[in-house]
């Protein structure tokens, strides 16, 4: 497509846009759409954002699982040994026994209770007999000395289920749901930045390719002009200075071509890094640089990913505030447990206050089963309740301020994108007219030089002017295309779902 046709096509598209109304579709070549798709799949930063979203989703699932029953099973085996040693003070509760003993030793006791007195004598005789046989009845001391040891084995199982969290769990789930939305928005922003980068590299490749073609055309003209100058020199109609000037101009073009080839190789490497394809595969890619039209008739920032993320973040903090406010509401939980304990080969040896030896082969307790409902109600907790509520309220205010600041900046950015787009269109129109004038001037210079009306310097100046005008025109188209991409970014419409191939 010729330069004038490009500009005419741009005007026609603008007229059609005013008739058809709003459309967010961005039409690009099929190979560019494929590059965008491959880059989205291959980008590590975007993959990291997707992982962040999955983490938020898992956090949400974990909080929702608070209402699911929890079952715990535990077991324990141990060998334990301990010793006890103490000196007891006055013992209460045995005063009546001492008083009874004193009463029985009273001389009046046998007279008043002859039958009991006889029993006392018999007990005394029995004690004497046991003493003679080496048998001593145990007596109490004021000391406590003992050792306890044995084997213990136990099992326990407990089931718990949260019945009512006071509103903390539902609000936390809603807050994490908003966090998921925020991560989705940030993933969308990352994708938008990546798409813009891919399109920019693709357009730069087109700019370099068409700039190289323009320089090749100029080189062909200079080669033709050099042949003419050499013929004229042989006939005495030109000087060696003419051929020298043409050689210098040709060398300059060769240097520019070399610079373009170097930049093209770098772009091939960049596109390879973005898409995952080999750099050599881009050597056969020769895109055409054409003006692009912005087709959204009523642009706004409502669809900006950054704004969505901040809105979701604000809602998340509001839900967390509600969660903290419910801190003082009671929490209700149902539970059930079963327990079994057993002591094996247990020993309890007491030396004081009564000499005792006790051993058991097995002592089983249980199974013991319990079930019930419990609640917890924190009526006053200023450090854990009121303080956290105040912090959550401040977080909400901070999020509101961040959203308002971002809204103002995004609105300003939209205005900048609009003016840049309008200015870029005017630049394309101006550079197109400038290119037409430079081409016409070159035609006149070529004719005038061959007729001897101007010298080689003026002829080469016209050639240089055409080169500059062509490159500036191509650069203006590239800038205009980038202004469209920035415009779509400013409205949040630069999404993969909006990219369509021709």
Predicted TM-score (pTM) of this structure: 0.76
Q: How far apart are the C-alpha atoms of 55 and 313, rounded to whole Å?
A: 16
Residue 5: which H helix or E strand, with range? helix 3-20
DSSP string, 252-300: HHHHHHHHHHHHHHHHHHHHHHHH-S-GGGGTT------------SS--
**H or E stretch covering 164:** strand 143-164
Mean pLDDT by 10 residues, the chain (502 residues): 49 43 73 95 93 93 87 89 75 56 64 60 64 64 78 89 83 92 94 96 96 94 86 75 88 94 96 94 92 86 93 93 81 87 84 77 83 77 71 93 95 95 95 96 92 88 94 96 95 92 83
* 142: helix, strand or coil: coil
pLDDT for res 124: 66
pLDDT number for residue 419: 96
Q: Give CA–CA dist 185/191, Å, rounded.
A: 10
d(CA 43, CA 437): 45
> Cα torsion at 388, 391, 393, 398 (round to 10°)?
-160
Q: Contact 479/426 with Cβ under 8 angstroms? A: no
Task: Identify the burial level of 229 via C-beta atoms within 10 angstroms of its C-beta, where 0-12 means exposed, 13-18 middle and 19 or more buried.
Answer: buried
pLDDT of amino acid 1? 42
How far from each other are the two terminal CA atoms of the chain, in whole angstroms? 16
* Opening angle at CA 279, ends 209 and 261, nearest 5: 35
- pLDDT for the residue 134: 65
Among residues 275, 301, 278, 249, which one has the least CA distance to residue 407? 301
| Domain spans in the chain, listed from the N-terminal domain onward | 75-164+332-380
CB-count exposure of residue 160 (10 Å: 0-12, 13-18, 19+): middle
Q: Is the C-alpha dihedral spanning 428, 430, 436, 441 positive or negative?
A: negative
């Amino acid at each position: 497509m010729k330069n004038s046709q490009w500009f005419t096509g741009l005007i026609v598209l603008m007229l059609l846009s005013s008739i058809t109304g709003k459309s967010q579709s961005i039409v690009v070549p099929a190979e560019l759409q494929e590059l965008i798709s491959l880059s989205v799949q291959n980008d590590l930063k975007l993959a990291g954002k997707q992982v962040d979203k999955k983490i938020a989703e898992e956090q949400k699932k974990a909080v929702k699982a608070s209402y699911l029953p929890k079952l715990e099973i535990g077991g324990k085996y141990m060998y334990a040994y301990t010793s006890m040693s103490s000196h007891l003070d006055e013992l209460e509760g045995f005063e009546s026994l001492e008083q009874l003993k004193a009463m029985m030793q009273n001389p009046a006791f046998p007279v008043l209770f002859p039958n009991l007195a006889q029993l006392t004598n018999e007990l005394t005789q029995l004690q004497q007999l046991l003493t003679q046989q080496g048998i001593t009845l145990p007596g109490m001391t004021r000391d406590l000395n003992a050792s306890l040891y044995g084997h213990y084995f136990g099992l326990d199982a407990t089931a718990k289920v949260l019945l009512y969290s006071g509103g903390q769990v539902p609000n936390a789930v809603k807050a994490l749901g908003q966090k998921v939305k925020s991560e989705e928005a940030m993933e969308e922003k990352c994708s938008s930045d990546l798409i813009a980068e891919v399109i920019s590299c693709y357009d730069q490749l087109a700019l370099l390719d068409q700039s190289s073609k323009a320089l090749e055309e100029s080189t062909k003209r200079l080669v033709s002009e050099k042949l003419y100058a050499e013929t004229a020199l042989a006939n005495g109609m030109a000087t060696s200075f003419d051929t020298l000037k043409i050689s210098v101009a040709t060398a300059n073009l060769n240097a520019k071509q070399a610079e373009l080839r170097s930049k093209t190789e770098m772009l091939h490497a960049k596109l390879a890094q973005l898409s995952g394809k080999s750099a050599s595969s881009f050597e056969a890619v020769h895109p055409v640089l054409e003006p692009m039209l912005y087709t959204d008739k009523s642009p706004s920032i409502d669809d900006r990913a950054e704004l969505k993320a901040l809105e979701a973040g604000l809602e998340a903090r509001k839900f967390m505030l509600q969660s903290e406010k419910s801190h003082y509401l009671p929490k209700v939980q149902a539970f059930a447990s079963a327990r079994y304990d057993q002591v094996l080969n247990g020993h309890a040896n007491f030396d004081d206050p009564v000499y005792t030896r006790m051993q058991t082969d097995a002592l089983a307790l249980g199974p013991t089963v319990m079930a019930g409902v419990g609640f917890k109600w924190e009526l006053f907790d200023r450090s854990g309740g009121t303080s956290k509520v105040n912090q959550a309220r401040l977080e909400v205010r901070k999020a509101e301020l961040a959203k308002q600041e971002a809204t103002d900046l995004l609105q300003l950015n939209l205005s900048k994108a609009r003016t840049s787009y309008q200015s870029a269109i005017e630049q394309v129109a101006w550079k197109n007219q400038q290119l037409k004038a430079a081409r016409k001037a070159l035609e006149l210079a070529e004719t005038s030089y061959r007729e001897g009306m101007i010298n080689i310097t003026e002829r080469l100046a016209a050639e240089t002017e055409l080169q500059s005008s062509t490159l500036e025109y191509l650069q203006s188209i590239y800038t205009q295309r980038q202004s469209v991409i920035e415009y779509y970014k400013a409205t949040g419409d630069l999404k993969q779902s909006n990219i369509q191939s021709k």
